[in-house]
Structure 1
Amino acid sequence: MQKTTLIGVPKTRITTTAELAAAGYLARYRGSTRETYKVSLKLLFNWCAGIGADPLEGMRRPVLELFARHLEEERHNSPATVAHHLSIVRGYYSFAEIDGYIERSPAAHIRMPRVFIDESRAMGLDRMELGAVIQCARASSPSDNALIALMGMLGLRVSEACAVRIEDYQDIERGHRVLRLVGKGGKPATIPLPVPVLRALDAAAGERASGPLLLRNKGGGPVNRKSAALTVQRLCRKAGIKKNVTPHGLRHSFVTAALDAGVPLRDVQIAARHSDPRITARYDRARHNHDRHASHVVAAFLAGAA
């Protein structure tokens, strides 16, 4: 029998109820989301094996609280990472309850860590920094240029940019060349291509008429998430940017640049494909957090007395 993989462990067949419940839960998702969920369930299953507990049958909330402490104190995961893993674990048990494997989810009342978001960190690069990265990408290679254009000028997620094929941007709609893609959650999107972006994509395609658009500079294989992240880091260093910038930071930069350029909030939400307008609004607030900060007013108020 051909081997399959369940929560990251090679198996010839599903042997336990917990594995069957996990397989059904993961089957709801696809692509990178499924792989991400596998990682969290693998952490849970491996930890349960280490303490001799079944991940499903007989599981109780106190045991899951110990798993959460394991993530915090032994793995030294950040509150955001712990919350991420626990939310996936909660989903697993919720669907195990829905599917009739257990009577009640033991994770329903598990304590979730408090996660605080510094909105000012959501802005990414400013206009001059993003412009410098784009210049370095143009001087580097056509593939690097297209990668930065897709993320920094269209706001694509890194997985979306890596998945772009040459055939995906050949259509014309209402007088615009458009890029068609399937985004987060399997949602299709059609994005008009500005001239600078179209030129970057055409240069990356070269004489090719089909296949992956982005190819690695060394080896010629398709660009993946890891190689894209290394490219972004390299180009940022070359541009003299010292802060840590991830591929998703370029998407943040796109949203902030759109707001700074005067694009209405609703149009930015559509362009970024944010399902919740509150996500886009967070960027809008972050742009002015430093300008509007009360410290400026207090300093001016006290200037005459100090």
Structure 2
Amino acid sequence: MHLPVVPTRSSARLALPTGPTDFTEAWLRNRRLSAHTRDAYRRDVTTWLTWCAAGDLDPLRANFLDVNDYARHLESSLAARTGRPLTPATVARRLSALSSWYDFLVKLRAVEANPVAGADRPRIDRDHSSTVGLSPEEVDRLFTAADADTGPTAHRNRAALALLADLGLRVGEVVSLDLTDLGTERGHRSIRFVGKGGKQRRRALTPGTAHAVDAYLTHRATTTGVTVTDLTGPLLVTASGGRLDRHSVFRLVRRLAQAAGLSTWSKLSPHSLRHAFATTARAEGVPLEDVQDAMGHADPRTTRRYDRDRHNLDRDPSYVIWAARARRR
């Protein structure tokens, strides 16, 4: 890619010298990102460039006032999936991606400064998440519904559910798994995958998850007329052999939740199981740092936000202090 000519103050409004795709793809190649995050960032920048084009605004000449106008536009936009206004968290995430894009352009000397840096970003309650959570009992009901399923994809669906619920994986991590990611490490059945931020990660498979995966692979091998060791490609596949996508997993979670009689089935997502993983782990006494490491969070405050039971008065440390004093007396 040829570096762009730096626009001068006296230059007229111009289109991007080499086109927005060149800038965006170079920026994405410069970042260690998962395929899902890469696609999301690409969409975020494309949305901004489309908005600029509609207003005859050269992105290389935009300032923080333009970004503020764009943020207000986003806040009044409706989400395609829900039909409701974009949440402050979604707007903040899109602006964060845009800020990273402009930081890259500053390093290329395509712009003098990052216009997002001085913009008015939405205020986010870091102690709140819009994801609908699940109790341990509700997760059990999902497994019961999955066990009752007898369709051709039943084995695969149980394996996907186990990976989401027992390991707390992100949906993008689950659908990106390949058969070669399965392994054994120090006596543990394990999986390796690329987590958020492009980090190489590994997790242990619980006995239940390993059993669900093995049952699925045995069924898949039998169906295709080969041995398990001859299977190749993605871990979770469609009926035609293609890689299972995240949208199919979304539909799976909601279908199982509806079959389980959960009243919130239409609002659930695979991420609800990730929240349930964190909440249950903490309720069962798993140290915060171990849950943080398992979920791949850089900041423990993120892990705490996933713990839906953190404000439960049953966990008030005053009880521990009182009980210790009572024992001493």
Q: CA deviation at 1:107?
A: 2.1
1:229 matched to 2:229? The reply is no
Counting only pairs closer than 5 Å after superposition, residues 32-111 of structure 1 correspond to structure 2 as: 32-56=36-60, 58-75=61-78, 76-111=85-120
List aligned pairs for 1:148-167, cutoff 5 A: 148-167=161-180
Q: CA deviation at 1:17?
A: 6.0
| Residues 122 and 283, structure 1, Cα contact 8 Å, conserved in 2 | no
- Where 1:287 maps in the other structure, the secondary structure is coil
Q: Does the aligned pair in 2 maintain the 1:123–1:283 contact within 8 Å? A: no
Distance 2:300 2:245 in 1: 30
Q: Is the partner of 2:313 in helix, strand or coil?
A: coil
- Which one of the candidate residues 124, 130, 139 is aligned to 2:139? 130
Residue pair 1:123, 1:253 contacting (<8 A) in 2 also: no
- Percent identity, aligned pairs only, is 36
Q: What's the CA shift string for 1:248-302, capped at 9, x where partnerless?
A: 1111111111112221222212222222122223344x414253799xxxxxxxx
Instruction: Identify the match of residue 253 of structure 1 among 269, 273, 276.
Output: 276
Deviations 1:76-131 (A, max 9, x none): 42222211111111222222112211122222200001122564766821111011
Which residue type is aligned with residue 42 of structure 1?
A: T
Q: Are the aligned partners of 1:64 and 1:107 in contact in 2 as well (CA < 8 Å)? A: yes
Deviation (angstroms), 1:202: 0.6
**Residue type at the aligned position of 1:222:** R
Cα distance change, pair 23–179 in 1 and its aligned pair in 2 (3 A)? closer
Aligned residues: 277
1:212 equivalent in alignment to 2:230: no
Q: How does 1:158-197 map to 2 (within 5 A)?
A: 158-169=171-182, 171-197=183-209
RMSD value, Cα: 2.4
Supply the distance in 2 between the matched residues of 1:132 and 1:119 (Cα, whole angstroms): 26
Query: Any conservation in 2 of the 1:233–1:246 contact (CA below 8 Å)?
Result: yes
Q: Given the superposition, is the C-alpha separation of residues 190 and 80 from structure 1 closer, same or farther in structure 2, using an over 3 Å criterion?
A: closer
Q: Is the 8 A contact 2:106 2:112 kept in 1?
A: yes
Using a 3 Å threshold, how does the CA distance of structure 1 residues 272 and 138 change in structure 2: closer, same or farther? Answer: same
SS at match of 2:254: helix
2:212 is matched by which residue type in structure 1? A
Question: 2:148 is matched with which residue: 139, 142, 158?
Answer: 139
Supply the distance in 1 between the matched residues of 2:100 and 2:68 (Cα, whole angstroms): 16
- Residue matched to 1:304: none
* 8 Å Cα contact 1:120-1:287 kept in structure 2: no
User: 2 CA distance for matches of 1:124 and 1:73?
Assistant: 27
Are the structure 2 counterparts of residues 176 and 105 from structure 1 closer, same or farther at C-alpha, using a change threshold of 3 Å? closer
> CA shift at 1:177, angstroms?
1.6
Q: After TM superposition, give the deviation of residue 184 of structure 1 in Å.
A: 1.5
Partner of 1:24: 26
- Give the match's secondary structure for 1:177: strand
Aligned pair in 2 of structure 1 residues 92, 120: CA closer, same or farther (>3 Å)?
closer
Contact 2:71–2:91 (CA<8 Å) still a contact in 1? Answer: yes
Q: Which amino acid aligns with 1:173?
A: E
Give the equivalent residue in structure 2 for 1:241. Answer: 262
Of 286, 298, 305, the residue aligned with 1:263 is: 286
The answer to whether the 8 Å contact 2:64/2:116 transfers is yes
Choose 245-254 or 99-108, whichever is displaced more: 99-108
Please give the alpha-carbon distance, in whole angstroms, between the structure 2 residues aligned to 1:150 and 1:292. 29
Structure 2 CA distance, aligned partners of 1:263 and 1:189?
20
Whether contact under 8 Å (2:175, 2:244) holds in the other structure is yes
Amino acid at match of 1:35: D
Residues 20 and 163 (structure 1), Cα distance of their counterparts in 2 relative to 1, 3 Å cut:
closer
CA contact (8 A) 1:124 1:252 kept: yes
With the length of structure 1 as denominator, give the TM-score of the two structures: 0.82
